[in-house]
Every structure is written in structure tokens, then in C-alpha cells.
Structure 1
Amino acid sequence: MNRLGAATSPYLLQHADNPVDWWEWGPEAFAEARHRNVPILLSVGYAACHWCHVMAHESFEDETTAAFMNEHFVNIKVDREERPDVDAVYMQATTAMTGQGGWPMTVVMDHDGAPFFAGTYFPDQPRHGSPAFTQVLQALSAAWTDRSDDVRRTAASVAEHLRKEAVPAPYALTAERIDGAVATLAQEFDAQAGGFGNAPKFPPTMVLEFLRRYRGASEQQARHMLARTVAAMAGSGMYDQIGGGFARYAVDRGWVVPHFEKMLYDNAQLLGLYARLGTALGDRVATETADFLLRELRTAEGGFASALDADSPAEPGEHAHEGTFYVWTPTQLVAVLGPDDGAWAAELFGVTADGTFEHGTSTLQLRHFPQDTADRARLDGVRRRLLAAREERPRPARDDKVVAAWNGLAITGLVDAGRRLGRPDYLRAAIDAGELLERLHLSVDGETGARVLRVSRDGVAGTHAGVLEDYGCVASGFLALAQATADARWLRLATGLIDTALEQFAAPDGGFFDTAADAEALVARPRDPGDNASPSGFSSLLHALVDAHALTGEGRYRDAAERARATVSVLVEKAPRFAGWSLAAAVTMAEGPLEVAIVGPPGDERDALVARALALPGAVVVAADEATDDIPLLSGRTPVDGRPAAYVCRGFVCERPVTEPEDIA
């Protein structure tokens, strides 16, 4: 084994037996490069990344390629999910230098971490206009040796570019600008297939939540884009029609063929979105997705694993291929279900003789959910039998590290589903995950405040410091638990994290950096308020600030949220698809959020009040048996004539308490 044999990251462990003499990121690797006077090759990926596996098989497992790498470079392997700060800095460099990004990311840099070359996947042979990886390595080594002055000038120029903060001046995010964001989204909306833009299609979860909360001039259009997209995704090949849960994205415009890895961050967010829809479709998809999380991603310690791989072998011992676990042929359906049900399932799921994927196989789609009661029962039986048969196939590998931010998202999604669907088991799972984060990932020091560690695995915390998204997402998860349980412990933990974030991550203009002020210094300090597949650190903290203010009445949280909101106005106007979560917070802040305190004995009456209050978009809803000063929104609240009562407030100014659900509106 190489040096990665001692790593905790499943991604790094995948490369522990490479002939490449990999180093983990750290000062020792940089010192070795200085000592040998060779450049540093940085390779960044993640455990469920298909093309990372391809490049590993083609190049990093090849003895000749590895020998050249070892002789002419110091080679560093980074798990982007463990070190999102390193990934962010060098992805910015990669997109600036090449016009595109992705994983695996390949960067070559000098001894100060300044990059002079960047790219993504390189094949082992020249292909489709791309040079072979060995050709790239030879050219870079020669440039370092023969044209060192040019190399260092390039590296210095790129480093200077990365350090330049082109941050626009804050200005008001008005209702008119939010209306304009909806109009821009409408121009990019795919009216035929749902979603936004062309292929590939990623689930636009945060944008859809914004459209769900939006009330404005284009409300009807927003509702149409929301409804069309959630239906398209639920019936697509991107959604696991027999096991629940979503793949990372679809490679085509029509959502037929996914990139098959299943990520925790996607499913945590989509679970919450579908639960909040309040429709039969939403309830079904939320239930199936929550069940998938509990069945396949939950760890023995009560947290949630990061991902399931895209690749698996058809038979034990064979080479793994993408999608093998999930696709079917008509013959396979008949073998499991018999001739009648097999043919019926092939028609219903769009499984054809030619196939919709590779080698005559098809993804499963369910474009039309059966309305007939008998057909629904038949579908339930078919799905159970197919799921049982699929469990006999070799399973995709699981990346079982626990990432703080993504577990925060999972807590929020499970709380949303548990409260809305009447599923205490989902709430219990959310509490278990919260207790794991408190136990392993959080520390409180009198001098440095509440701190988050990024990852743990097998019940052992890692050493990597949390980044802004960890603070924002975990705080939001704890605030969701505070609302669902009325346990003030979760509120105290959340506000401790928010206070640390305000102190350590604040930027002078009211926005936030992605790393703490006392974090490891990189070639540049990353700062990106734009959402990607998961909320940015900025937008996640913005939501936490809004909810914390609603529960505590602390004006400083509202003030911080107002200052921060103004810093994303340019992003909202130019690229609203990457500002969905900030927009969702912004429309909630415009008139609220509504703060709903429900107090009284548990039972059907209180449950009915909670259900009606949760239907208010963006509302903060906390329910308890009796008043408590530990959660200020519950302070002084009493039942009315012994019946549970709901107090509907804005800025802690409340309407008279009501006891009937219809009066909450």
C-alpha cells in the first residue's frame, strides 16, 4: 500500500493500492516537493465518481504511468467531500483556465500551491481531441525543467487571479428583482420535459423550493414550473422506481438515463421538497425516499453515509460497470414476475427490447402513475418483487463517511417528512443523526466557541475543520429539531454554531467566506455564495439566521440576514438558477417568516393545528405541551380553555390565539 493506506476517506482508500506514491494534502507533501524540486500534481475526486474510477483504472493503476508520476511529481490525492475548501480553490482555477470543471480534477502547481496547469479527466490514449495523460505529464515535467521562469510567471498570475475578490457592492434585493428572477427562470425552463436548460439535467431542488414559496406577479407561472418539474423527476429514470431515492443527475434532456450514483445531499433535499408539496405525489415520493435513506444510507452510529456508487458488477468478481444494479431487460422482468406481470411491468416502466440505456438494458420510468385501485395494488406487488430480486445482485459500494453538512440536510428533510406525514420513525432517525453530530462533530471551547468537524467514519471523528456549509446546514437541522421536539437543547446548539459562523466567517460587506478566519491558509480564501448540487455555505447560513431569529427574537440574527441578503442581488439577477436557496430565504424574509407557536396537550387537535401551520410556506412552527422561556417563541403561550392554541406571529407580534385549524390562515 502507498501512504493512503492510513486514510479514513473511502475515496482515498480506493487508491491505497495504486502504484502511484500518493500523499495526503498537508505540509509534508509540499516540503517533499521543495526538497526534490519537482512540481505537485493534485488529483481531486470523490468515492462515487464514475469518471474518477475510469481514470484510476486507466492511469493510476498502470505501472508505467505511476512510475513517471512518482519520478517527476509529488502526487497528492484529495477527497473533495472531506476538503471542500481545497476543491473550491482549485476548481475555480480549473474553470478559469479551461472554461469548464468537473471530477476527477487534475491540477499541477508550484511549491506554494499556485497552479500553472489544470484539467479534469484525461484518457490513457489520445481520444476525442484530448491528449493522453502520459503526454500531459511529459509536457508538464519538461516545462518545469526547461522553462521554469515561464511556469512560475503563469503560476503567480493564476494565484493573483484567485486572490482577487471581484465582489460587487451590495444593493437591495427588492420584490421587483425577485420577480425578475422568476422571469429569467421562465426563459430557461424546459416546458416539454421540465427542469431548466438542456442536458445534463440536475434536480433544481433549491430553485423549486423558491418557486413554492414565491408570491408575486408571476405566481401562476412559478407554480406551473414547480408542478411540471417535480412530476417529471418523480416519473423519470433518475428516480429509483422500485427502491426510492434519486440519482445525481440525468445525462439527457428527458430525464431518461441518470448518472447512477445516489448522493445523500440530493436525496436529503428532495425528500424535504416533496414532503412540503402537500400532494399525493409528494407524499409518495417523500415516503419512498425517506425509506431509502433509512434502509441504504443509515450508518450503525445513527448518521447517514455520503453516497452509493454508480458502478457495480453484473456478477461477483466481474468488472464493475455504471448502472448495472438498476437497469433491466424485458427478459429479466419476466424471469422475476412471470409472463403476465413481466409484460405489464415492461409497458408501465418503459423497458424495451432495444433498451433505453446500454447493451439492451433500460432504466425504469413511471411516466403515468396508475389511478385504478387494482392497478396500484398490482404495481405495489411488482415493485416489492423486483426490489427483492435486485437485492440479490452485487451492490454498488457505499461511501460510508458521515459529512456534517449533508447530515444536517438529512435531519431537516426527515423532520419535514416526519411532521407532515405523521411518521415518528423519521423524526426518531433525525434525532439520532442530530445526537451523532453533537457527540462526534461538535466541540465547544471558551475561547473559540462552538466548532464543527467536517467528517466522521465508523464512529470516529476526522480531523478536518468544518466549512461554512457545515455550520449553516447543521444549525438548520438543529433548528428543525427544536421546532419538532420543543427541546431547547437543539436551539442552544444551533445558536452556538451560528454565533461562531458570524464571528469566524463574516466578510466586510455582510457576506461570508467559506472557510474560518483561523482555518488553514490556502493560495486563496474561497468565497462562493452560489448554490450547486447542495446549498452554498452562504445560503445555508442565511436560512439558519432567519429561523433562529424566528425562534429567539434576537434582532442581531435578523440584521445579519438582511446584510447578507443584499450581497447576492447580482447573483440573483444574473444567474437565479444558482441562487435558489438564497431566493427561498429572501421571499420568506420579505414578510416574515410566519412564526407559529402551538401550545396544549398532545393529540388530534394539536396535530391538526400543526398540520395546518406547516402548510404555510416558510413558516417556523414549534409545538409544545406548555410554555417555556427556553424557546422564546413559546414563552408565555398558553392553551385556550384547555384546548391547544396556535399563536401566529410576525417579528414576535402575534394575532390572537386560535383553536381551529382553518383560523390559522
Structure 2
Amino acid sequence: MNVKVDREERPDVDAVYMEAVQAATGQGGWPMSVFMTAEGEPFYFGTYFPPEPRHGMASFRQVLEGVRAAWGDRREEVAEVARRITGDLAGRELGAGDSGRPTAESQGSALLRLSRDYDPVSGWFGEGDTKFPPSMVVEFLLRHHARTGSDGALEMAEGACEAMVRSSLYDQVGGGFHRYVLRPVPRGALVPHFEKMLYDNALLCRAYAHLWRTTGSELARRVALETADFMVRELRTAEGGFASALDADSVDATGGKSEGAFYVWTPEQLSEALGDEDGRRAAGLYGVTEEGTFEHGASVLQLPGEEADASIRERLLAARELRHRPERDDKVVAAWNGLVVAALAETGAFFDRPDLVERATEAADLLVRLHLDDSARLSRTSKDGRVGPNAGVLEDYADVAEGLLALAAVTGEGVWLEFAGLLLDIVIDRFTGENGTLYDTADDAEKLIRRPQDPTDNATPSGWTAAAGALLSYAAHTGSEAHLTAAERALGVVKNLGPKAPRFIGWGLAVAEALLDGPREVAVVGPADDPATAALHRTALLAAAPGAVVAVGIPGGDEFPLLRDRELVGGEAAAYVCRAFVCRRPVTDSAELAGELTPGGGGI
């Protein structure tokens, strides 16, 4: 019997069998083919098998015939192989580590390792020709700079962000990011894989907003807003959630489908859209040549130097809208929508865009109303307003909680803090093992040959480190020792892995920066309609103190534990900066509050 698994619907199944493929072959990838017994025990596997034999590789038909012969003639031998593989996988239990919480020294070692992987000329990390967006690493670098004042960390963050946005990874016309870029042979312009994923854009939108918060960069501001607007314009569903992806392929001029057809340009197409003079100027700005930098004489758009003015981008976007659009995967994934909620809430608050905060609120409402059942259990996906059959995994609980906590800080609505607490209680009760180890599936989930767990980042933060971050923020909001202990135990793995492989545990390193800084807790009290309250609240949100949590409300309000017993000062709105609920004297001046939230400020 053939079973096709959607790895976005069932990441747990994909993770378990991908681990088997990697253990046996030394590499992994998709498509992945796994042959197994009726009990789910794998005995033969691989990635891509061609339709015809080539380069010493068997065709898929030959593989099928070989597996059928082995199963028919040597079934006991095959079953024994399957049992050995399954036993080996079951023995790969990963503990949280006994090295304790991350330290300033271990974080510094991770930064040093990153600096060795960074190319200051190109702005990219790593040596390979395929470049994925390092969004979680950028977050770590910004937080490390905020805690320590490290110029080197900030320079790497700025360089990486500039490299991404000036390359064809970024959609220079419509905003938003493609999946990755690669350098073709012979070496030339970076060429993207044109698929646009929701999670990449949510993570990068937030990272660029945080870069602007740190540096005031106008480029970072533009990219954050354009990416937010792209997600709302092209990925938002009728129900208020956000679709998973846009396809890389679309209908081209010949009527067939080809990758990138929607996004690439020739000089003639630029002139048709802009007129001859502006068309020539745009070709120079975006690197569009007569020979082409992609396929069939077309070019990808890059921005190596001077930026195009808004008029050129707007006219190109209008012309592109007349093309056949890529198809959209309308599946709403809980975890990725949690990332969007955080990104849109903060971007809207930073840049005075209440419409973005409203879109974040609507997505959060969909998650709570549709994906969350009466026992606070999450469903992973929905489509067209109907919830899917698959249970949420750890990243769903963690990323949705992260989004709700960010939304609570921006809106001052404590109900989002309450829902985040419900989800994080499930994380502690159902996803946490002995000594703080975390699993990707709940203890009552469907049993697989191994209970998957992985603390390393992939395209998104791992469920493990995302949970650590949300647990830490919730503990800072509430003073909960149970959530703080769970976060600290989970971060033990970061102390072990961070100095060895920082590019693959960037979010864990970012959370560790928050732990080392406190994190700081900011309680703003004052009348809701008072400009002074709004000014203090905005100052708190714009503070780059790593992982700082913010609560705002009226004195005596009970929606946020941080606000309890916090009073006005001389009848004026006031802000309290605390660590572990121990606070410095309150301030009423925004500039003074900003000083409390700088590196080394707010010492308690």
C-alpha cells in the first residue's frame, strides 16, 4: 500500500523517518521514499530515485522490483533489519543536558563561531552556494548587541540583512522573501527558488522590524513594512488566517508553467511597463540585462546599489498583477500563523500601523476560535474555516503562545496572556519529559517508532527552543516558577550546542540572551486615553532589551500580574522596570524609561 505524507500536516512522521534516512545514508532530503513493515518499521529508504537509471543510480521501478523480491524471498531477514533500525532509533533519546543554563561565556563562544562562518564581503553565512535566510541568527545577534553592546554582533546582523534584501532573495517589486537563493554554474547572479513561504516572511518581517528598532535603518523599516503588506495582501485568507505558501511556478508567456515566470523581467518588459527612459533606468538599478541572468533571456531583480523610487516599484507591481499568479497553498498552519501574529503585532506597533495590529488580532482570534478546543489542545491545520484532523505538535503550541504574548504586549489585552498560559501548561504537562527534555509530540499522541525530538532550528525555530522562549516570557509576565524552571531546563541544550553549531540553534541563543538579561519586565500604568501612557508604552515596546516583556493597563487592573500594586506617580502615568518582579523606582518620563532599558540599564 502506498502512503503519501504531507510533511507540513505531519511533521512528526517526516522527522522520524528522515532521521532514519540520514542515519543510514548520511544525507537527507525530499522527496523521501521509505519502505516499511506493516508495523511502521523501516527497512529500506532513500531520497530521489530517477525514472530511468542514471549515473549508477537505480530507477524507481528497479528499486520497487528489488524491494518486492526481498520482501517475497527474504522476509525474515528484512524484518530483522527493520527491527534493528527501529531499535537504534528508539535509543537516540536526547536529554536537556546537565550543563546548566547558558552563560555569558557560552554565548560569547557562539558569537565567535558565528564570526568565523560569516563573510563580511558578501554578508552571507557559510561556504555553500545555497543560501537560506538566517532570520533566527539575526535575532540572536541583535539581542546579543542589546545586552552587551557588541559592535561585531550588530555588524553581522546588519550585513546579513543588507545581503538578503539587495539580492534576488527579496522580491524587489512586491515585497516579501523567496525560499532561498543559489549561485548557478558558471558562477553568476544569485538565483532564487521562487516559492514564498509564510514562515520565512513572518520571521524576516519581525527581524527587520527589530533591526530598525536597534539602528533606525530606513531600509530595514521599508522591508519590514513591505513584507508585512505582502503577507496581508497575498497570503491572508477569507477567515482571517494566513495561507502557507505561494508556488514557485506560474503560467509563462508560452502557456506552460515555469519557475519564476511571475517574477522575472526582460528589458523590453520593463520598457513596456515604465516607458523607455524609466525602463532603462530600472534595468540598471535591478541588474536586468539583454542576455538575462536567469532563463530564456529574463533576469531576476536585484538591488546592488541605488534604490528605485516608489513610483517605479508601484508601476512594476501594477504591471505584474496582469500576469498569471502563482497558485497558493491555502492551508493555515497554527505554528506559522503564530509567527505572523507576533510579526504583524510588533510591526504595526513600531510603525504606527493599527491595521497590521488588527490583522494580527484577527489571526489570533482564528487560532483560538477554530484551532483550540475546550481542553486547550491545538489542531495543527485548517482550511476554508474547517479544522484538520492532525494534532498540534510542540512548535504549534510554542509559536502560537509566542504570538499571543507579543499581541498582549502591543494591545494591552490580557486575554491573550491567558490563552498563552493555557497552551504553555499543555507544553509542561504533555510535551516535557524528565529533567526538562522536550518532545515534538504530546505524550498521548499517535505512537510512532520513536517519539521525535529536535532542539535545532530548520527553516523555523525548533519547537524545543520556541517553547523555551515562550515559557520564559510567560514566567516574566506572571512570576511562575514552574514556567521559569521549564524554560531554564530546556535551555541547557543551548549551552551545549550553541558554541558548536550556532547557525542551527539561533533562536535558542536568542532566548538565552533574554534569560541572561533577566528578562526585564516593564509595567506601564495609566489611563487608557492618556498620551503619557501611550508614550511610555511605545517607549517600552521600542526598547531592545533582550526578550523584555511589556504590560500596560490602568492602576489596579487585574489582566496582567505585572500591574498589580503598581500605582500612578503624583497622579501621572508611570513605568516600572523589574526583574523577577523586583522593581526599580517608577519613572514618568519616556527618555528616562529608555535609559532604564539600554544595555546595562535597569540594574537590580
Say if 2:204 is the partner of 1:266: no
1:15 paired residue number:
none
Report SS of the residue matched to 1:341.
helix
Bigger mean CA offset, 393-402 vs 480-489: 480-489
Matched-pair contact (CA < 8 Å) for 2:94–2:453? no
Q: 1:430 aligns with which of 330, 335, 360?
A: 360
Matched-pair contact (CA < 8 Å) for 1:171–1:566? yes
Q: What's the CA shift for 1:127?
A: 3.5
The one-character-per-residue Cα deviations of 1:197-243 (angstroms, maximum 9, x if unpaired) are: 12211111111100100157792221111110001111110100110
The one-character-per-residue Cα deviations of 1:493-521 (angstroms, maximum 9, x if unpaired) are: 11011001100011212120110000000
1:49 paired residue number:
none
Say if 2:134 is the partner of 1:196: no
Say if 2:371 is the partner of 1:441: yes
Bigger mean CA offset, 612-621 vs 303-312: 612-621
**Within 5 A, what are the aligned runs for 1:247-646?**
247-252=178-183, 256-278=190-212, 279-315=217-253, 318-370=255-307, 379-445=309-375, 450-601=376-527, 602=529, 604-613=531-540, 614-617=542-545, 618-646=547-575
Report SS of the residue matched to 2:92.
coil
1:153 paired residue number:
80
Matched-pair contact (CA < 8 Å) for 1:108–1:115? yes
Report SS of the residue matched to 2:68.
helix
Compared CA separation, residues 128 and 429, structure 1 to 2 (3 A): farther
1:67 paired residue number:
none
**Within 5 A, what are the aligned runs for 1:103-118?**
103-118=30-45
1:32 paired residue number:
none
Q: Which runs of 5+ in 1 are unaligned?
A: 1-73, 371-375
**Within 5 A, what are the aligned runs for 1:24-173?**
74-167=1-94, 169-172=97-100, 173=102
Report SS of the residue matched to 1:527.
coil
Q: CA–CA distance in 2 between the matches of 1:111 and 1:255?
A: 48
Matched-pair contact (CA < 8 Å) for 1:405–1:470? yes
Q: What's the CA shift for 1:128?
A: 4.5
Report SS of the residue matched to 2:208.
helix
Compared CA separation, residues 509 and 419, structure 1 to 2 (3 A): same
Letter in 2 for 1:109: M
Q: What's the CA shift for 1:166?
A: 4.6
Q: What's the CA shift for 1:286?
A: 0.5
Matched-pair contact (CA < 8 Å) for 2:169–2:178? yes
Compared CA separation, residues 166 and 496, structure 1 to 2 (3 A): closer
Q: CA–CA distance in 2 between the matches of 1:572 and 1:221?
A: 17
Q: What's the CA shift for 1:603?
A: 5.3
Q: What's the CA shift for 1:185?
A: 0.9
Matched-pair contact (CA < 8 Å) for 1:238–1:255? no
Matched-pair contact (CA < 8 Å) for 2:551–2:560? no
Q: What's the CA shift for 1:256?
A: 2.1
Bigger mean CA offset, 78-87 vs 274-283: 274-283
> Relative contact order, CA 8 A, sep 6+: which one is greater?
2
Q: CA–CA distance in 2 between the matches of 1:123 and 1:358?
A: 24
Q: What's the CA shift for 1:397?
A: 0.8
Q: CA–CA distance in 2 between the matches of 1:422 and 1:170?
A: 45
1:175 paired residue number:
104
Report SS of the residue matched to 2:171.
coil
Q: What's the CA shift for 1:578?
A: 1.1
Letter in 2 for 1:257: V
Report SS of the residue matched to 2:21.
helix
Q: CA–CA distance in 2 between the matches of 1:158 and 1:319?
A: 44
Root mean square deviation, CA, Å? 1.7
Letter in 2 for 1:544: A
Matched-pair contact (CA < 8 Å) for 1:452–1:470? yes
Q: What's the CA shift for 1:604?
A: 4.4
Q: What's the CA shift for 1:533?
A: 0.5
The one-character-per-residue Cα deviations of 1:547-570 (angstroms, maximum 9, x if unpaired) are: 101111112111111111113332
The one-character-per-residue Cα deviations of 1:441-476 (angstroms, maximum 9, x if unpaired) are: 00123xxxx210000000001110000001101111
Q: What's the CA shift for 1:574?
A: 2.1
Report SS of the residue matched to 1:443.
coil
2:150 paired residue number:
219
Matched-pair contact (CA < 8 Å) for 1:179–1:218? no
Matched-pair contact (CA < 8 Å) for 1:434–1:478? yes
Matched-pair contact (CA < 8 Å) for 2:208–2:224? yes
The one-character-per-residue Cα deviations of 1:88-117 (angstroms, maximum 9, x if unpaired) are: 101111111222222222111111111112
Q: CA–CA distance in 1 between the matches of 2:176 and 2:499?
A: 32
1:68 paired residue number:
none
Matched-pair contact (CA < 8 Å) for 1:441–1:452? yes
2:164 paired residue number:
233
Q: How many residues align?
A: 580
1:187 paired residue number:
116
Matched-pair contact (CA < 8 Å) for 2:94–2:437? no
Q: CA–CA distance in 2 between the matches of 1:190 and 1:98?
A: 31
Q: What's the CA shift for 1:572?
A: 1.6
TM normalised by structure 2 equals 0.93
Matched-pair contact (CA < 8 Å) for 1:479–1:548? yes
The one-character-per-residue Cα deviations of 1:304-350 (angstroms, maximum 9, x if unpaired) are: 0000011111148x332111111111111111111101110000001
Q: What's the CA shift for 1:599?
A: 1.9
Q: What's the CA shift for 1:644?
A: 2.5
Matched-pair contact (CA < 8 Å) for 1:509–1:567? no
Letter in 1 for 2:3: I
1:44 paired residue number:
none
Q: CA–CA distance in 2 between the matches of 1:368 and 1:609?
A: 38
Compared CA separation, residues 633 and 369, structure 1 to 2 (3 A): farther
Q: What's the CA shift for 1:365?
A: 0.7
Matched-pair contact (CA < 8 Å) for 1:250–1:259? yes
Letter in 2 for 1:647: Y
Say if 2:138 is the partner of 1:208: yes
Report SS of the residue matched to 1:152.
helix
Report SS of the residue matched to 2:377.
strand
Q: Which runs of 5+ in 2 are unaligned?
A: 596-604
Matched-pair contact (CA < 8 Å) for 2:465–2:490? no
Letter in 2 for 1:523: I
